[in-house]
Amino acid sequence: MRTVFSGLLAATMAVAATFSAAPASADELEDIKAAGELRIAMTGQYPPFNFVNDKNEVVGFDPSIGQALGERLGVKVKIVTTAWDGIIAGLLANKYDAVVGSMTITPERDKVIDFVGPYYRTGRAVFVKEDSPIKSLDELTEKTVGVTLGETHEKWARERGGWEIRTYKGLPELLLELNSGRVDAIINDNIPVKVAIKSGEKIRQLETTEISGGELFAGIAIRQNNPELQAAMQKALDDIMADGTYEKIAMEWIGSDIR
């Protein structure tokens, strides 16, 4: 699940302070309905949650959830792809209306933005090649691990220490680097990598109790001081969870209900 490393969060909070200095505008729900469009952001580099297909379309679990929310709100949905490490700054700069991109709900982030949800849960895991002799985290000491730049897993890996860390743009790069042998392991949310394994990736998860983080919950990020928008989006999310739409989307892209 996607989250922002502490150094990046500090810069984002500085941006937030600039925006909060201005008087609060009217709730944005009315503006979105007047425009007839809800702009949602994601990286497009996090399969099966969001990725670009061979038709150059952004597809996956997140876009499908965003489209379902837009239908409930009575507006069209426009997908904006952007780098993960600047995605909150882009939200605060009004480049889009919401982030539907597998963003982890954290107390730090709650100081800057508001959340709708959560809309799914996952957990941290470490993966190695299927034929790797590595069986535990201790065996990764002084070896090389790959993480996505700006995710909570990068922060965890740096705090734990004991290995060389290389950062990448997203999961496709991580899998490529692991399979090529340029990293000895990757650290990521377990759901997308398990989906990749089912699709034929010759990798396996380390069975260890040493990994901290527990359950992680993803939310939909919006700008603060928008109670009407937040309530409308929460109702739309609750409705798709109740009427079978959510389960259908989850089964299509993930293969299981991940609430």
Q: What pLDDT was estimated at residue 21?
A: 39
Cα–Cα separations (whole angstroms), residue 55 to 60, 67, 171, 175? 13, 18, 20, 22
Task: Return the domain boundaries, the chain.
Answer: 6-121+216-253, 123-205
Distance between CA atoms of residues 78 and 238, nearest Å: 21
What confidence tens digit (pLDDT) does each residue in 147-202 have?
Answer: 998 888 898 899 999 999 999 988 999 999 999 999 999 999 989 999 999 889 99
Q: Is residue 49 pLDDT above 60, yes or no?
A: yes
Q: Are 97 and 38 contacting, i.e. CB atoms less than 8 angstroms apart?
A: yes
pTM: 0.79
Q: How far is residue 96 CA from its own chain's centroid?
A: 16
- Answer yes or no: same fold for 6-121+216-253 and 123-205: yes
Q: Report, as an integer, the average pLDDT of 37-66.
A: 97
Question: Domain 123-205 belongs to what topology?
Answer: D-Maltodextrin-Binding Protein; domain 2 (3.40.190)
- Residue 143 has phi, psi (to 5 degrees) of -100, -175
11: number of Cβ within 10 Å: 14
Residue 213 above 60 pLDDT?
no
CATH entry 3.30.300.30 includes domain 6-121+216-253: no
